[in-house]
Structure 1
């Protein structure tokens, strides 16, 4: 799986948490939308954990691009923004799931496992 997140502290926290999870192989993270697309092309991850608000074109653009080029990849949007409008935008670009960055670690892990069809706890 690939983490695409521009906030260094949050990116490192996700990376460390997910590396400990059995059944989840974590690639070196991407720090912006373009890098997320490049790494998706190079590594073909099953799941991309995508920050909605990254510099440049942003996570929604990257999600749409990834889902158009590689429809088998699942993209989970992470954001600090709540509300139905943001959820709708995420769904419109092909996101598999939409989670708050405040979500419980178990909720994030469960969403990744479900998206990858690995199972749930």
Structure 2
């Protein structure tokens, strides 16, 4: 019973992690979200979309800071609004790992959703 609860807790922790991003080239990011076996593709896509939007907003702020000379420009100083545009096919993968708990090996599964985006000017 305790092992089952611990295994459920450990595999559900993956759901709490926010999406993460890695810059592949200037303005192009690979954004990835992880979820436990109860995660839906929709929830993972929402995490990725939220992170991608935040990345592009941050890039717009940094560009405005460089051109305006302000350290923290507000919305009035943003010369362009950047939005994420998908540049590669999405990747949805399922994984199963073996974890060792109290002398026993248990299987825990999780999902990964990855999207490569580029921050482009909104029309």
Structure with greater proportional strand content: 2
Same-fold call, TM cutoff 0.5: no
Q: Identify the structure with bigger relative contact order (alpha carbons < 8 Å, sequence gap 6+).
A: 2
Structure with greater proportional helix content: 1
TM-score, scaled to structure 2 = 0.23
